[in-house]
Amino acid sequence: MGDAAAKAVTVGETLGAGTWVITASFTPTPGQPVEFGVGTYAVNFTVNKAVLKITANEQTRVYGPKAAFADPTVKYEGFVLADGVGALTKVPVVADPSSAASSVAEYSIIPSGAESANYEFNYVSGKLKITPAATAVTWDPEAAGADVKKHITYGTALATTPNTNAKGPDGIAGTISYNITTSDPRALTVPTHSVTATFTPTSANYSKSTLTKTLNILRRSAEVKPQGFDMVYGDDMPSISGTSDEANAGFLDADGIVTTFKTDAIKGSDVGVYFITAEYADTSGRLRNYTIKLNSGDDNRINVTKAIVNIETVNKGSSVNDAKTTLALKLSGLKAEAAVLNGVELTAAQIVAAHGSKEIKIGDKTYNNNDSGLADSIKALNLLAKVFNADGFPSFTVPDFSNAVEKSFTINTVLDTKTDDGDGISIAGNYDLGTNSSGTYSVGKATPTITWADSGLTYGEAIVDANLNATVADARLLVKDKEGTFTYRIADGNGALAKGLILPAGTHKLHVTYVPHADNASAFLTGTKTVTFTVAKAKLDIHIPAISGYVYGDALPGIAANELTYGTKVGDKLTNGFVNGDTESIFDPANGGTQPVVAIVPNTAIKDSVFSVAHSPANVIFGQSAASKNYDLTEFASTMAIARRPITVKAADSVTTFGSSASLGLEYLNLAPGETSANLKNAGFAFLSGQPNIATLAPQVYTVFANGAFGDNYVVTHANGTLTVGKAPATINVADTSATYDGTAKTVSVTTEPAGLATSVTYNGAAAAPVNAGTYAVQVDVSNANYAGTFVTSLVIAPGSATVSLGDLAQNFDGTGKAVSATTDPAGIAVAVTYNGNPVAPTQAGSYAVEASISDPNFSGSTTGTLEIGKGVAQIALSNLSQVADGSAKAVGVSTSPAGLANVVTYDGAATAPTAVGSYAVSVTVQSSDYSGSAEGTLTILEGATITFDGLLASYTGDPISPTITTTPAGLKVNVTYNKSPVVPHEAGTYEVVASIEDATYSGTAKSVFEITKSSTATINFVASSLQSPWNNVKAPQVTTDPAGLDVRMTYNGSLALPSTPGEYEVKAIINDRNVKGSKSATFTIGKAPQDISFPAIPNLSISGNPVILVLSATSNSGLPVKYIVLRGGATVDGNLLTISQPGLVSLTAQQLGNENYLPADEEVRSFEVTGTGVPLGAAQTEASLNDDGSVSLGVSGSPFESLSIYSASVVDAEFKPIVKIVLDADGKGSYNTASDADQRFFQVK
């Protein structure tokens, strides 16, 4: 090895890198037959350097001041022959790619500078990771301290308290966030709540930091306000409502706490006041955050007030000289347990019984509350125990009662005999007495007793006097010539007069009226009685007529009701027939009848009888009897003769073939339904003339004869038929039905049984034999006088064999279809080719399975192969290789030719586009099934620009104000908008400020909030005189502002609505302006309104022994009612009716004492003189009262009067004129006349 000084080498020796001359020498072994000299051969031998991979080690440091690498070494991969670092003449070095200002990111550490004679180097960069610097958050919330006054009340959002004062390190920009939603008033819960404050630096060069504090949370006061109400004792308990929601100082709505209000009061609870309690459904567990205040004032309770019970005295009566009937009353307005007795007639004894029991039986009905739905505690109460007190049950009086004459008396219901309370009422505590109306007791005439005996008659007969035989029982009414008169009407007093009527059969109501004779009219009333009157059914005979012309086997005939005969003739007279013009329509169900149904049955006189000629006649009877409400029916049956039935017996037509026999049969026409030849005595027979052997007959048509048939129920006629002899079938055999195409005609082979029969053959209907491959329908037909036959089959000619060869199976992609070539043997045969099953030649690069098949119907054959289409070469261009860092990924632009090819881009070997400042090796590779290609370049990312805001809070001055905006690098042009407008704002408000850099190299946008606060220099004052206003003309207070003319909004006790009821209100005036603020409070007083009474003067009046009644008409301009009081004189007042009974000076006053809205009015006094004669002591007393509808009721008590007159005048000083005059006759009966006067005002009673 080497030159003359080189050393010898042996196998296995390692050479250093470089080019070596190696000389091989051959020295022959001595003694060879031919002598050879030493031979040499020299060659150049190159030893390449080994590849050594040198990788920089990973380094890590924290953002900030730069420090030396902790481990500035590398890793080696690829040393051979046990070499190490010592094999290098110069070791590699690594350089720090970062500076003290480098941001948090990964940087490439690239080794370099290694030298070696035997190694070449593959440098692999390592990563320098700069990690974020630590930060510390500081936070001192006052709610975490011991001062309870500074603790947070539940329901207060953290953001509204001074506790959101956490901050990050000085000099490091960032934001503070909390692990709760600070605007959520429900985020903090009782008693303590751990909250974590997090500082998030704006720069990625610093790490987040957190600090957790425990905040003290106080319970929130929740006011629960039941809605009280008044209810009448015994009414249904209404649903109880109230407020406990957020709008009414209750629970926060979002907590979902549902309040249910309850009370101990039930339907039937006694009069009194009941508390309302509350229960809470708390599915979210939020109730523990509250201190609950349940309001229980007067407005929050249930006030059960008294019910009104009304008494109606029941009208009663009895006859002259009879004992008095037991008196009773009816109650209305009863509630709860007593309600079951509303409207029930009760005697005094029954009232006492119901007071002491929870159940009472009156007549056949029992009254209790078992099924009332009331609470058990109310059901257990006695029915009237809470209506009347036990020491004062109602009783009845009938003043001046007498049963001697017909007369009416007043029945009064008296409730107790006490005189100390002045009201005569003994009602229990849950009721007040409403109305107590009197009843009338009538003593009347006696009612006559009518007796009756039912004489009865038959349907069709008219009612005569003898049938109308009522009488009366009282002997006084049977005196001759004073018997009285009877009237008889059907059904009731409005029915038809009975005499002369013809009634349907049955029992009828007869209304009998008895009118006493005039001599008895004063003692007896007209009497009535409803009696029964019986009408018997009439007799009716029904006959079925005899039936003729019936033939054996026919359908049985039907007989309708109008075909029957009615009645029976005796001589020339028809008896038991229809009466009163009736017809068979009486049997219609619509008329209450049943239709007769006629049935036909075999002769009942013959045992085991059937419908036959031998058993003729059949019986005709009623299968369903008729019925009618007015008739008793008798039915009469009849008979039906049966005649023989005509039939035809015909020789049956039959068919056979030559050489075969056949049976001859008969056909039977018109047999009775359901019968066969078996029902004949002799079925008959069929035959051929001469009785030949049918099997030997030549094919043709022969006559068949019929004879010998007969039967008891039939008359028989015979008829001929035919025998048709046809050809016998022959058997056909076909062979040679398969062949292969060879260009010649192909035929089948045919044989027959019997042998030798002539045949004809067709192929698809043609006589010519086929040549081409395919399937052909073959038909063979026999031609013979005695035989016939056809055979159908198929002849199949299979295709011949052919071979296919493929070419052009390797081609390159150029965007056009690539088809293979195909040749055949025999040549020129059509071939079909597919590529992966598709007949279209492919264009895309790839491998395709090729199938080629013969497509000639006379040949078959196929082959397969693979078509290979290689890829084309694509071109790649790179753009956007220089960009500015803005925190987003920076990808290069890639375009391909052809355009739109998919590609893969890597940056320093990574697929993710970089964001940090630096240089990156870019590699692009086309990803296409049809093209290949790649390109490389370098992406450079420059430092990005930043925008900083300052002065984001300013006060309103009236001039345009803007924040301070700076950029890094400094001096970049910035476009600024305020709420999307470029105009600099000057009014108070909050503005979204957006700053955008406009620069060819740098870009960037920043947002913030700029606030101009309202100025607090405005003042507001109330006009003192406007702070008081009357109730009936309320006007809002007036204010002045500085600056003048500012809009002002007012609230009254917190409400925007101007109050309308008297009282004092806190009025707050608030400036409603965008740029300035200010408010002031005062007391606003609404006073009661004054009112005046108008009372017309009353003239001097005269009186003459009878009272004078005046309708007083004083009014107040407030619309409130006026009250009258008599100050002196012989007069009384009831409402606005003044009754004057004595002469002298009369003085009275009109008062209106005011209410919550009006002050009391000044009283108005009126005086006038009354002259004349007063009402005598003990004389009839007239009482006047004003009804609800404005009319006047007059009542007179004391001694009976002979006449009573009521006078009126339209004006004060007019002459009084009578409008009603009542006169009593000698018997005490009254009659009256009336006149109308639309303007009545004063009344005088005489």
Per-residue model confidence as pLDDT tens digits over 1027-1082: 888 888 889 999 999 888 888 899 998 888 899 888 889 999 988 888 888 888 99
Residue 4 burial (10 A CB sphere; 0-12, 13-18, 19+): exposed
CA gap 311, 307 in Å, rounded: 13
Q: Provide the b/e sequence for 1029-1061 (b: ≥16 CB within 10 Å).
A: bebeebeebebebeeeebebebbbeeeeebbee
38 against 625, higher pLDDT:
625
- In tens, the pLDDT along 701-719 reads 999 999 989 998 999 999 9
CATH tag, 50-131 = 3.10.430
Would you state the structure tokens that stand for residue 672, as one six-digit string?
Answer: 């009775």
Q: Which of 207-216, 736-745, 1009-1018 is predicted most confidently? A: 207-216
Say whether pLDDT at 1214 is over 60: no
pLDDT number for residue 1181 = 58
| Mean pLDDT (whole number) for 568-576 | 88
- In tens, the pLDDT along 822-874 reads 998 888 888 899 999 999 999 888 899 999 998 888 888 899 999 888 887 78
Average pLDDT, the chain: 86
Identify the band that residue 676 occupies on the pLDDT scale cut at 50, 70 and 90.
Answer: very high
Identify the band that residue 189 occupies on the pLDDT scale cut at 50, 70 and 90.
Answer: very high
Sorted by sequence, the CB contacts under 8 Å of residue 619 that are 6+ apart come out as 600, 601, 602, 603, 604, 637, 639, 640
Domain 728-798 in the same topology as domain 50-131:
no
Identify the band that residue 277 occupies on the pLDDT scale cut at 50, 70 and 90.
Answer: confident
Over 137-185, what HEC string results? CECCCHHHCCCHHHCEECCCCHHHCCCCCCECCCCCCEEEEECCCCCCC
Identify the band that residue 1195 occupies on the pLDDT scale cut at 50, 70 and 90.
Answer: low
Q: Between 3.30.70, 3.40.50, 2.60.40, 3.90.25, what CATH number should domain 450-536 receive?
A: 2.60.40
pLDDT number for residue 416 = 60
Fold observed for domain 873-942: Immunoglobulin-like (2.60.40)
Fold observed for domain 645-726: Ribosomal Protein L9; domain 2 (3.10.430)
Highest CATH level, class, for 728-798: mainly beta
Would you state the structure tokens that stand for residue 436, as one six-digit string?
Answer: 């107590």
> Would you tell me how many other CB atoms lie within 10 Å of the CB of residue 1020?
16
pLDDT number for residue 1212 = 43
| Mean pLDDT (whole number) for 618-643 | 91
pLDDT number for residue 1135 = 83
Q: Contact, 838 vs 818, CB < 8 A?
A: no
Q: Which DSSP helix (H) or strand (E) runs through 352?
A: helix 348-355
Question: Which region among 13-22, 143-152, 610-619 has the lowest average model confidence (pLDDT)?
Answer: 13-22
CA gap 1205, 587 in Å, rounded: 73
Question: Which region among 1-10, 647-656, 1194-1203 has the lowest average model confidence (pLDDT)?
Answer: 1194-1203
> Would you tell me how many other CB atoms lie within 10 Å of the CB of residue 255?
23
Identify the band that residue 259 occupies on the pLDDT scale cut at 50, 70 and 90.
Answer: very high
Would you state the structure tokens that stand for residue 1227, as one six-digit string?
Answer: 């018997």
Identify the band that residue 1235 occupies on the pLDDT scale cut at 50, 70 and 90.
Answer: very low
Fold observed for domain 946-1013: Immunoglobulin-like (2.60.40)
Say whether pLDDT at 959 is over 80: yes
Q: Contact, 601 vs 618, CB < 8 A?
A: yes
- In tens, the pLDDT along 343-363 reads 999 999 999 999 999 999 999
Say whether pLDDT at 560 is over 70: yes
Q: If we measure between CA atoms, which residue out of 847, 877, 850 comes closest to residue 863?
A: 850
Total-model pTM:
0.37
| Mean pLDDT (whole number) for 1020-1028 | 89
pLDDT number for residue 1243 = 45
Say whether pLDDT at 136 is over 90: yes
Say whether pLDDT at 285 is over 60: yes
Say whether pLDDT at 1211 is over 50: no
Say whether pLDDT at 1183 is over 70: no
CA gap 953, 1221 in Å, rounded: 97
135 against 25, higher pLDDT:
135
| Mean pLDDT (whole number) for 313-318 | 91
Cα-based torsion angle of the residue sequence 355, 356, 361, 365 in order, rounded to the nearest 10 degrees:
50
Query: Residue 124 pairs with which residues in a beta bridge?
Result: 55
- In tens, the pLDDT along 1137-1175 reads 888 888 999 988 888 888 888 888 888 888 888 898 887
Domain ranges of the chain: 50-131, 142-218, 220-304, 306-444, 450-536, 538-643, 645-726, 728-798, 805-864, 873-942, 946-1013, 1019-1087, 1093-1245
Identify the band that residue 176 occupies on the pLDDT scale cut at 50, 70 and 90.
Answer: very high
Question: Which region among 468-477, 578-587, 1001-1010, 1226-1235 has the lowest average model confidence (pLDDT)?
Answer: 1226-1235
- In tens, the pLDDT along 417-441 reads 444 444 455 788 899 999 999 999 9
Q: Which DSSP helix (H) or strand (E) runs through 1192?
A: strand 1192-1197
642 against 958, higher pLDDT:
642
Q: Which DSSP helix (H) or strand (E) runs through 1048?
A: strand 1048-1052
pLDDT number for residue 648 = 94
Residue 87, φ and ψ in degrees, nearest 5:
-75, -10
pLDDT number for residue 704 = 92
CA gap 903, 897 in Å, rounded: 12
CA gap 262, 275 in Å, rounded: 9
Say whether pLDDT at 1199 is over 60: no
Q: If we measure between CA atoms, which residue out of 629, 621, 623, 622 comes closest to residue 588?
A: 629
In one-letter notation, the amino acid at residue 376 is D
Alpha helices in 1066-1156 (DSSP H): none
pLDDT number for residue 1238 = 36
pLDDT number for residue 1189 = 55
pLDDT number for residue 529 = 92
